[in-house]
Chain A
Amino acid sequence: MRILGCLDGTNAEQIGRAAQMFNATPPPAFGLLTVIDIGPREDIDRMRGRFLRAPMRHQPVTREMLAAEEAAAQDILSAGLACVQGAETLVRQGRPELEIVNAAAEWKADVILICPSAQYGEPPQLGPRFMGHIARFVLDHAPCPVLLVRQLAREQFPIER
């Protein structure tokens, strides 16, 4: 069994805990994926177009941007490896939702572990906006079962009947 955990920079522990649930024999092969989102760079390029300027790739600051992205990706993977030891690491660049499903297909993942959205503050309230667009896309388009890993929210229950 091969299980793919999707790291977003905030969920290494959650993915780690979920991974421990899979005590299969033979032991599953874990992969940890992080995607460098190229959306912001595309936006900056579009904005440069509005100001009639050439795309970013011609600018010296682009090197710094790429280095920062690479460093952040390595940082995220290190945090993931600390929680899921011995996992294979994968780095992709592009639109996160597309890269996750494509990487899962290429890596021949049997299960994808993903969190509803990156969590920078308090956990979000359960409800229709609970799941981010990336998790939504992966659920809809994944080539294999998807395990949505989220924090316990027992205090938000019972939901009014």
Chain B
Amino acid sequence: MFLFFPLPEFWRTILTSFVALVTLAGIMTRPFRWSEARIAVGGAGALLVLGLIRPADAALTLLRDWNTFLFFLGMMGLSAMAEAAGLFDWLAVQAARLAHKSAARLFLNVFLLGSAISMIFSNDATALILTPVVYVLVTRLRLPVLPYLFACTFIADTASFLLPISNPINIIVMSRYPLGLWTFLRLLFLPSLVAITLNIGIFYLLYRSQLKGTFDIGRLPTVEKAVKHKPYFRYTLWVLAVVAPSYVIAAAFQFPLSVISVAGALLLMAGALFWKRTTLMEAGKAISWPIFGFIAGMFVVVRAIEVTGLTIKLGNLLLRLSGGTSFGAVMVGTFGSALGTNLINNVPMAVVMNSSLSSVQQAAPAIRNGFVAATMFGCDLGPNLTTVGSLATILWLLILRQRDVEVSGLDYFKVGVLVTPVMLFAGALTIWLLL
């Protein structure tokens, strides 16, 4: 049912923009509780059916981004298999033991552990796997739950630009604008440390009164209890000891990181199957398959807008707003991306920015690198503003708040509003100084 009649360029652009806007609005508001994946795939399907993007172009776009799809698969597989080994439970127990009964030191250890997990497994693992583990731990220790949960959820994103693999967004951006490992570390490692330090410092100030106590170490589970199966656990540690440096070496030689993550996940899965720690069915369930539909849909939708030239216009607008300076590039890139991630998800925002940045490739290297680094920085850290969802979710929570009931999701927002702009500004300033 393609449109076989020629459509003037103007109406083509209008129609494409309309479909893209409806898709993005759908992702923001999720009407009828439709999943984001369904909406994104629906948007891409509408563009294909209306003939606003050629099927060959859509297929080529998806094939070109194979590294992103494979990285998501490997990242989820690696985290799930490490979870099956009890690695995260074991690390959390060790963090508590090293805290020597101090609630404040445990708080710091949760931040450090979250940073390390984000760095090696990506922010998903910290937010989705470490958070419930820490929840169980602090509930058992009878400590106030919220500060520790906030620590986990915030550090997941704050520490997600320590390495290229720390956030899939970095892979999306770097697939199109490859930065050498040294350039990545030069531009983003120090800002990451600045953001992490600010995050820890501000959180200590906010929760100091709740962190003054001690906990009873006797309530902790034994290390033996945390490790679900010793041989598989040891095997997992060995595999990760190989995977972690392999990531760094691969990034240094610009070798596709997805290959390492998938290989690591397959090795862990082989071990898990050998020791009967999982089945193929369970391993399949650990992967969030709709994510691939979501990303694929967004890639196609943004490609269709790109063909109309709109994203180039957005890129030119960003360039103009930056005033042609590296400082402007970093600030506009950071705050533009951060705002966008809170309106739509950070994946679509990164894809939109990726497409828009093609127009800044002719600019001076400092401006170009500034925009690329700031895009990753803004898309990685920006979600901390509305940690538990998009701005639409927050608006919904505000409506619930009218009923006088305390809505805990709003606590995240209050903290996010306080800490995220500070981290964004300080980090962006550091990126600019390092350009």
Contact = CB atoms under 8 A, between A and B. Distances in A.
Interface stretch (B144-152, B254-262, B304-312): B144-152
Interface string B288-308: 101100100000000000000
Interface stretch (B134-142, B176-184, B190-198): B134-142
Interface residues of A, number: 42
B149 A120 contact: no
A159 interface: no
A59 B103 contact: no
A121 B213 contact: yes
Contacts of A140: 404
Contacts of B383: 50
Given A40-B145, A72-B142, A48 B128 contact: yes
B51 interface: no
Contacts, number: 113
A52 B132 contact: no
A43 B149 contact: yes
Nearest to A141: B404
A43 B143 contact: no
Nearest to B156: A47
A134 B405 CA distance: 9
Contacts of B212: 120-122
A59 B282 CA distance: 11
B389 A54 contact: no
Interface stretch (B15-23, B232-240, B406-414): B406-414
B211 A121 contact: yes
B380 interface: no
Residue from B132, B288, B294, B408 having most chain A Cβ neighbours under 10 A? B132
Contacts of B213: 120-121
A40 B408 contact: yes
Interface in B1-59: 35-37
Nearest to A123: B209
A157 interface: no
A141 B412 CA distance: 25
Given A51-B128, A65-B132, A121-B212, A43 B140 contact: no
A110 interface: no
B288 A50 contact: no
A37 B144 CA distance: 11
A59 B132 CA distance: 10
A161 interface: no
Interface of A: 9, 37, 39-44, 46-54, 56, 59, 61-62, 64-65, 68-69, 71-72, 75-76, 95, 97-98, 118, 120-122, 124, 133-134, 137, 140-141
Interface of B: 35-37, 103, 124, 127-129, 131-133, 135-136, 139-140, 142-146, 149, 153, 208-213, 288, 290-291, 294, 345, 383, 387-390, 393, 404-409, 412
Given A71-B140, A121-B209, A137-B404, 19 more contacts: A9-B142, A41-B135, A43-B149, A46-B393, A50-B383, A50-B390, A51-B127, A52-B35, A53-B128, A56-B132, A61-B133, A61-B136, A64-B132, A65-B135, A72-B142, A118-B144, A120-B144, A121-B210, A134-B406
